[in-house]
């Protein structure tokens, strides 16, 4: 049976020691602000290692400590990509990284290989992507819609657990209390990020706990308030005819959005995508620091009435 990395972890804020964080990245190098990997499997292994970081701030700090200009570090709402923060940490601002003797360039979801021997011509080569070698792709994570699902195929997202509320106050960690008002929304979602290299497809199933605010155009956008977040969920998933179990328990006393890996599946060689059939029960709780207790919210599910 293939080995699968499953989210049987304890997600406390003490889970990652500084020593662990230093170990991640020693096997890699930065070349002209571009990460270099020997093989596609090494890229995926590194992707899984970075899943130990649960927040955007941790990923950004990691890139800054390596003097590496990740796409995530400079991303704005105007150039946001529909991929995970982990993937956006592994590509630079030009949406590039290296595998072996090739520069891998991401363009509209397709990964193209450009020999490093032609790096001086790279900008000219990018003008004609159809003439480049396509070696893989990444499936964009879909926008949430009303179609609820427990089957997560490539790029699928289900954000069924949401709660809108009016924020009254806020006290950031280490900061001062203030009367802050505005429309906010807690969101608990599951998503599947899937990418491929040279015919091998890698899929990663995540639980994401986030906060959004309503902008003046009435659209919901990512909010940055510190929160107390508790995650206590368990369940199983089926994939490629096999059943596996997971258990995620953790507490974050001063956090922004949290992303927890449920499973990272080993490469699957097939022309078609495969899907995770998920069952999840337990509870997820959020509360903005310094806000009224009435805005504390828990989404929960039981064996007979699961979250997913």
For the chain, give the mean pLDDT.
87
Instruction: Return the number of other C-beta atoms located less than 10 Å from residue 230's C-beta.
Output: 17
User: pTM of the full predicted structure?
Assistant: 0.83
Do 72 and 88 form a contact (C-beta atoms < 8 A)? Answer: yes
Binned at pLDDT 50, 70 and 90, residue 123 comes out as very high
Q: What is the pLDDT of residue 112?
A: 98
Which is higher by pLDDT, 228 or 33? Answer: 228
Rounded Cα–Cα distance for residues 63 and 50 (Å) = 11
Q: What is the pLDDT of residue 217?
A: 73
Q: What is the pLDDT of residue 215?
A: 85
Could you tell me the two tokens for 15?
């889970």
Q: What is the pLDDT of residue 65?
A: 85
Distances (CA, A) of 277 to 45, 191, 231, 237, 238: 23, 12, 21, 5, 5
Binned at pLDDT 50, 70 and 90, residue 23 comes out as very low
């Amino acid at each position: 049976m293939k080995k699968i990395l499953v989210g049987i972890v304890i997600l406390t804020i003490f889970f990652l020691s500084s020593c662990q964080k230093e170990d991640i990245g020693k096997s890699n190098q930065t070349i002209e602000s571009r990460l270099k990997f020997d093989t596609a499997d090494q890229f995926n292994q590194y992707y899984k290692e970075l899943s130990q970081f649960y927040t955007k701030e941790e990923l950004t700090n990691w890139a800054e400590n390596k003097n590496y200009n990740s796409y995530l570090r400079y991303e704005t709402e105007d150039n946001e990509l529909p991929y995970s923060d982990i993937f956006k940490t592994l590509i630079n601002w030009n949406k590039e990284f290296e595998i072996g003797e090739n520069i891998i360039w991401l363009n509209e979801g397709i990964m193209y290989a450009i020999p490093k021997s032609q790096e001086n011509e790279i900008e000219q080569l990018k003008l004609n992507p159809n003439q480049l070698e396509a070696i893989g792709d990444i499936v964009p994570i879909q926008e949430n819609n009303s179609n609820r699902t427990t089957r997560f195929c490539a790029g699928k997202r289900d954000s069924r657990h949401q709660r809108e509320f009016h924020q009254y106050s806020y006290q950031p960690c280490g900061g001062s209390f203030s009367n802050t008002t505005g429309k906010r929304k807690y969101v608990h979602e599951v998503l599947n990020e899937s990418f491929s290299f040279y015919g091998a497809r890698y899929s990663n199933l995540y639980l994401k706990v986030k906060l959004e605010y309503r902008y003046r155009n009435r659209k919901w956008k990512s909010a940055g308030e510190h929160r107390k977040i508790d995650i206590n969920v368990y369940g199983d998933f089926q994939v490629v005819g096999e059943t596996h179990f997971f258990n995620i328990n953790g507490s974050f006393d001063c956090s922004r959005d949290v992303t927890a890996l449920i499973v990272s599946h080993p490469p699957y060689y097939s022309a078609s995508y495969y899907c995770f059939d998920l069952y999840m029960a337990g509870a997820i709780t959020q509360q903005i620091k310094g806000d009224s207790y009435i805005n504390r919210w828990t989404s929960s599910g039981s064996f007979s009435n699961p979250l997913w």
